[in-house]
């Protein structure tokens, strides 16, 4: 797959104590290659994993698989948070991170020290974007994209969701189906998100099943992420959608990028 890579060699990861560390961006691109390789292997199975999981769980799976790919690509710089509900998702193992990890060696089953992990790390969230309602497709004589169908031609918007409004150091990924399998279409990052970039917490309805409280990123937050893009699929339709949705020209005027194969 061909991608545009921004000529941005480092990003900043901010900590709770107001300090920060810099990490290389290259592993986030290499992770796309690892992700694609693993998806290709999964596609060899006779079981249709995408349909088995459903779109919501599949999007979460895409985020998890990309996170595991980042860990592999970065060569020991990150560890996966040992708790499913802990944050951030990837713990940075720089000097402060390793020191804290070693200090907590006997507490790895305790969720509290990893929610949050104070030396910092990176959150990963995935989105496949939103398309019109089934009624819109029916009215226009069209078929709504099914699982396995590309959605880019019908995208109307996108955002990311979090369980609290303090989410920052966010690696946000967009994905779509390409030739029937999930494919990363863009990778964004921001260390400047604030509570104002997240909407009010939406509480689950009584009797609403296993849903949890969630905050949806505002349009201002989405724009901030867009301005921090790192990789984007070299697809005119994808770049055009992102520019139009964010009322920007990142992919029309930004010459600080190059095309690479991942």
Q: For 229-242, what is each residue's pLDDT tens digit?
A: 999 999 999 999 99
Chain center to CA of 237: 20
pTM score, two decimals? Answer: 0.93
Query: Most confidently modeled of 42-46, 106-110, 132-136, 205-209?
Result: 132-136
State the chain's mean pLDDT as an integer.
92
**Candidate from 12-16, 110-114, 123-127, 201-205 with smallest mean pLDDT:** 201-205
User: CA angle, corner 75, sides to 71 and 76, nearest 5?
Assistant: 75
DSSP 3-state assignment of 85? coil
Q: In degrees to the nearest 10, what's the CA dihedral of 215, 123, 192, 116? A: 80
* Nearest alpha-carbon partner for 58 in 147, 134, 129, 159: 147
User: What is the average per-residue pLDDT within 6-33?
Assistant: 95
**What values do phi and psi take at 100, rounded to 5?**
-70, -40
Nearest-10 crossing angle of helices 49-74, 26-43? 150
The token duo for 188 is: 């964004």
pLDDT in tens, 199-208: 998 876 655 5
| Cis peptide bond prior to 116, omega within 30° of 0 | yes
User: What is the average per-residue pLDDT within 234-256?
Assistant: 85
pLDDT of residue 253: 55
User: What is the average per-residue pLDDT within 136-147?
Assistant: 96
More confident residue, 184 or 213: 184
Q: In degrees to the nearest 10, what's the CA dihedral of 85, 88, 90, 96? A: -130
Question: CA distances (Å), 142 to each of 20, 132, 153, 234, in order?
Answer: 49, 11, 12, 27
User: What is the average per-residue pLDDT within 7-29?
Assistant: 95
Helix or strand (DSSP H, E) at 71: helix 49-74
pLDDT of residue 255: 47
More confident residue, 209 or 194: 194
User: CA angle, corner 164, sides to 198 and 125, nearest 5?
Assistant: 75
Counting beta carbons within 10 angstroms of the beta carbon of residue 47, is it exposed (0 to 12), middle (13 to 18) or buried (19 or more)? exposed
The token duo for 69 is: 């790919």
pLDDT of residue 254: 52
**What values do phi and psi take at 12, rounded to 5?**
-105, 135
pLDDT of residue 256: 52
123 with 91: CB under 8 angstroms? no
**pLDDT of 257 higher than 80:** no
**pLDDT of 184 higher than 50:** yes
**pLDDT of 168 higher than 50:** yes
Strand partners, 181: 178
Question: What is the DSSP-derived secondary structure letter of residue 19?
Answer: -
pLDDT in tens, 51-93: 999 999 999 999 999 999 999 999 999 999 999 889 999 999 9
């Amino acid at each position: 797959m061909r991608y545009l890579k921004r000529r941005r060699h480092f990003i900043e990861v901010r900590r709770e104590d107001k300090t920060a560390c810099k990490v290389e961006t290259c592993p986030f691109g290499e992770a796309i290659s690892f992700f694609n390789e693993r998806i290709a292997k999964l596609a060899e199975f006779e079981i249709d994993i995408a349909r088995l999981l459903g779109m919501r769980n599949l999007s979460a799976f895409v985020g998890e698989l990309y996170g595991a790919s980042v860990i592999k690509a970065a060569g020991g710089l990150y560890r996966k948070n040992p708790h499913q509900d802990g944050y951030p998702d990837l713990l940075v193992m720089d000097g402060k991170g390793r020191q804290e990890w070693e200090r907590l060696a006997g507490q790895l089953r305790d969720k509290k020290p990893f929610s949050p992990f104070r030396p910092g790390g990176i959150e990963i969230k995935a989105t496949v974007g939103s398309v019109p309602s089934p009624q819109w497709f029916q009215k226009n004589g069209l078929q709504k994209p099914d699982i396995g169908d590309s959605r880019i031609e019908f995208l109307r918007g996108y955002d990311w969701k979090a369980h609290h409004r303090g989410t920052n150091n966010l690696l946000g990924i967009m994905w779509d189906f390409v030739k029937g399998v999930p494919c990363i279409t863009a990778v964004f990052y921001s260390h400047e998100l604030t509570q104002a970039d997240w909407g009010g917490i939406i509480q689950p309805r009584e009797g609403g099943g296993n849903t949890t409280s969630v905050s949806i990123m505002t349009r201002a937050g989405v724009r901030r992420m867009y301005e921090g893009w790192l990789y984007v699929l070299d697809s005119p339709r994808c770049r055009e959608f992102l520019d139009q949705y964010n009322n920007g020209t990142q992919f029309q005027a930004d010459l600080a990028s190059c095309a690479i194969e991942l």
